[in-house]
Chain A
Amino acid sequence: MTTRTAAPEAPPSATPPSGRPARIPLWANPRVGLVVLLVGLVVLFTALRPAFLDTTLTLVPLQSDISVYAVVGLAQLAVLSLGQMNMAVGRMAAMSAFATGLAYDRLGVPLIVGLIIGLAVGALLGALAGLIISRTGVNSFVVTLALDFALVGLITILYTRFTDGVAFAGQPAGMTALRNDTFADYCMGEICGPRIPLVVPLALAAALAVGLLFRYTRVGREILMTGANSRAAQLSGIPTRDRVVQAHALSGLLAGLAGFLLAANNGAFSASIGDQFLLPSFLGPVLGGTLLAGGAVSVLGTVLGATLTQVIYKGLNLLQFQLDQLKLYIGLVLLVALSLDRVRHVVAERRGARA
């Protein structure tokens, strides 16, 4: 048989059809921009208030706070990977902390067991949200917002039923150490550790695990692909519904961890844990360059973003602004930080176009 077809295609040329630069220049990397901004702010705050470098009163608590909010950011990041949101991060953290507190209060379980129970509760709540979202197709914003509402009620009902007020009175052994100690308090002979709070490694481990998950594991990559194009993912054999559930479960689990870290920092498992998580949960990832559209995440960026917000907060606190100015400046600095990234982006695009 003969058919009219063109000549077989020439062998693929090694040179690309268009000279696209293979690597983005270093300065255009959003993470680098963040680091520069961060260093600039630290220098500025230190110049204005030398107390910014006070180890015990500023740097050590700052590290603890960053740990909490980096994990909060990661909890949001876990669902931003899908292009979805978790409006109930705070409440999942609170439920998880409640579970840990209850387990200790009633069963006297050790700290680590309590933590595991708490994380499991967080993960279950996340999975529940994911399940509703994936089975009904209702927008994640709506589902988690409604869940948030329901949990606000539930948490206080539970605390009233199981405690005298809004917190568990007792604390498992080790909580105080987790709160107060730094590695400098632990010595091997003469050598003591650095002045890093004990909660930091927990947050670092979480960041590492999440980074590993999205970069190297199949499940993590498939979650990202579901976020990038859910229809194509489904047609590529990815069980997209399961991935949605898993991403939300991860979000719940990380929210639980954040709740635990906050409880450790504040010294009690209380109903107010997570009340203030929602805003920072978005700021960390977004400042770090994660879009709300899904399909791509930056764990390092999230940690840097959380660091940036905490540094801003700490610096403004040291400057002793009154409430109205404090809020005003936080909002303005955030807007500037976000816009700087945009400016960088535009410049990078111009340069790329000219290349």
Chain B
Amino acid sequence: GCTRKSENDTSGATTRTADQVKIALVPGGAHPYFQPWKTAAAQARSELKLADVTFNETSGWDQTKQNDVVRSLAAQGYNAFGIFGVSPENINASFEDLKRQGFPVASLASCPAGDVNKADFCLSTDVELAAYKAAQAAVQAMGGQGNLVHLTGNKVDSNTQRRIAGVQKAVDETGGKVKLLQTVTDVDKDLQSAQKAVADLLAAKGTQIQGIVNTAYNPAVAAAEGVKQAKLPIKVIAIDDDQTILAGIRDGSVAGTVLQNPVGQATVGAYALLKLSEGCTMSQPGVVVDSGSFVVTTANVASYEADRSAKTDELRKAFDSQYLRCG
């Protein structure tokens, strides 16, 4: 009869030395958020004396394409992967593929949906916490009362759901003083839709709104610009530290922003991937690690980078002492 070959071909983790390790950092597509990965990658390569670290953003926000990109990289000899999964729902399958071939895999900047992470570890912003902090910052900027609007991305994305929950939590904590007037989803696809949505929103309810909290990039840019143009006294909390947003904070049109830690994700991720290649194992496979989030306002716009480097160092230590088991 016909039999299935037994599942014995899971290559046991081959150990490699640093000069054999080629790390690929694969974001979900082109996005400003990932740009720091490029320099972080180059830096990790020289600091850790790795064979190569590459950055490939050609996935185009399509899981099929990303799988293809990852496989092509593997065929090219890359043997450790840090991946931002395009679709958190089926990225675990891709992680398993890579694991089966004996490659260490990190889920960077986003964790798979559900409670299971099939990558070795996930190093990502705790998006719910970040959104919570952002909303808190907004509440504070609004003087603790008024109407808040939340602008965010793809509604049917588990991360968006987490962000909505985070904002809701912060609003609930005000005990009704701040009302979440509206949550506008699906405005992150392209800048112009975001601009249009913000203009329409401000036109419809501008005078009732005291604060806008953004948890996606395009709406953040659009809201900062839109509020400035409409000359409304609305406090905008943006996301990330794109030049346009930092400029906004400096000129006061943006009340604050919530930073994530892309550099930390890339450098610490690369470090851990190297350790795994050298033979370390995860003490808790699939562990989810928060890479940190930081509220930046005019007060600390000059100094936030220090906090972030501190967090990165702390993360690396935590991996050494806590998450990795070497030896």
Alpha-carbon gap, A347 to B307, bound state (A): 69
Interface centre among A167, A169, A275, A317 (most CB of B within 10 A): A317
A133-190 residues at the B interface, CB under 8 angstroms: 156, 159-160, 164-167, 169, 179-181, 184-188
Task: Assess whether A51 is in contact with B75, with CB atoms less than 8 Å apart.
Answer: yes
In the complex, identify which listed stretch (A123-131, A262-270, A288-296, A297-305) lies at the interface while the others stay far away.
Answer: A262-270
In the complex, identify which listed stretch (A3-11, A26-34, A224-232, A319-327) lies at the interface while the others stay far away.
Answer: A319-327
A-side contacts of B86, CB under 8 Å = 272
A-side contacts of B74, CB under 8 Å = 57
A222 within 8 A of B: no
Task: Assess whether A267 is in contact with B156, with CB atoms less than 8 Å apart.
Answer: no
Task: Assess whether A267 is in contact with B54, with CB atoms less than 8 Å apart.
Answer: no
A-side contacts of B154, CB under 8 Å = 166
Given contacts A167-B87, A271-B156, contact A61 B56 (CB under 8 A): no
B3 within 8 A of A: yes
A234 within 8 A of B: no
In the complex, identify which listed stretch (B64-72, B214-222, B252-260) lies at the interface while the others stay far away.
Answer: B64-72
Task: Assess whether A57 is in contact with B90, with CB atoms less than 8 Å apart.
Answer: no
Across the interface, name the chain B residue whose C-beta is closest to A57.
B75
Task: Assess whether A164 is in contact with B101, with CB atoms less than 8 Å apart.
Answer: no
Alpha-carbon gap, A265 to B65, bound state (A): 11
B152-196 residues at the A interface, CB under 8 angstroms: 154-158, 161
Alpha-carbon gap, A159 to B113, bound state (A): 14
Partner of A262, one of B58, B64, B97, B155: B64
B-side contacts of A49, CB under 8 Å = 75-76
- Which of under 10, 10 to 19, 20 to 34, or 35 or more describes the interface residues of B? 35 or more
Task: Assess whether B72 is in contact with A267, with CB atoms less than 8 Å apart.
Answer: no
B5 within 8 A of A: yes
Alpha-carbon gap, A58 to B88, bound state (A): 24
Partner of B89, one of A181, A268, A276, A320: A268
Given contacts A185-B4, A266-B67, contact A165 B158 (CB under 8 A): yes
Given contacts A61-B68, A276-B64, contact A192 B58 (CB under 8 A): no
Across the interface, name the chain B residue whose C-beta is closest to A326.
B58
Min Cβ gap A178→B in Å is 12
Task: Assess whether A56 is in contact with B89, with CB atoms less than 8 Å apart.
Answer: no
A202 within 8 A of B: no
Interface centre among A160, A184, A187, A268 (most CB of B within 10 A): A268
A341 within 8 A of B: no
Alpha-carbon gap, A65 to B97, bound state (A): 16
Alpha-carbon gap, A165 to B63, bound state (A): 16
Alpha-carbon gap, A268 to B93, bound state (A): 8
Partner of B87, one of A187, A270, A314: A270
Across the interface, name the chain B residue whose C-beta is closest to A325.
B58
B200 within 8 A of A: no
A196 within 8 A of B: no
Alpha-carbon gap, A51 to B71, bound state (A): 11
B-side contacts of A166, CB under 8 Å = 87, 89, 154, 156-158
Task: Assess whether B64 is in contact with A51, with CB atoms less than 8 Å apart.
Answer: no
Across the interface, name the chain B residue whose C-beta is closest to A68.
B64
A-side contacts of B75, CB under 8 Å = 49, 51-52, 54, 57-58, 318
B1-27 residues at the A interface, CB under 8 angstroms: 1-5
Alpha-carbon gap, A65 to B157, bound state (A): 25
B144 within 8 A of A: no
Min Cβ gap A326→B in Å is 5
Given contacts A56-B101, A318-B76, contact A276 B158 (CB under 8 A): no
Task: Assess whether B64 is in contact with A266, with CB atoms less than 8 Å apart.
Answer: yes
Task: Assess whether A322 is in contact with B97, with CB atoms less than 8 Å apart.
Answer: no
Task: Assess whether B113 is in contact with A164, with CB atoms less than 8 Å apart.
Answer: yes
B-side contacts of A313, CB under 8 Å = 68
A34-93 residues at the B interface, CB under 8 angstroms: 49, 51-52, 54, 56-58, 61, 65, 68
Across the interface, name the chain A residue whose C-beta is closest to B93.
A267
A-side contacts of B56, CB under 8 Å = 320
Task: Assess whether B2 is in contact with A187, with CB atoms less than 8 Å apart.
Answer: yes
Alpha-carbon gap, A114 to B183, bound state (A): 36
Task: Assess whether A270 is in contact with B64, with CB atoms less than 8 Å apart.
Answer: no
Alpha-carbon gap, A313 to B71, bound state (A): 13
B94 within 8 A of A: yes
Q: Would you give 16 A-B contacts (Cβ < 8 Å), ordered by A?
A: A54-B75, A68-B64, A156-B155, A156-B156, A160-B156, A164-B161, A166-B157, A167-B89, A180-B97, A266-B90, A271-B156, A272-B63, A275-B62, A318-B72, A322-B57, A326-B58
Q: Can you add 10 more A-B contacts, CB < 8 Å, to A165-B89, A187-B3?
A: A61-B67, A61-B71, A179-B93, A185-B5, A186-B2, A266-B94, A267-B94, A268-B90, A313-B68, A320-B76
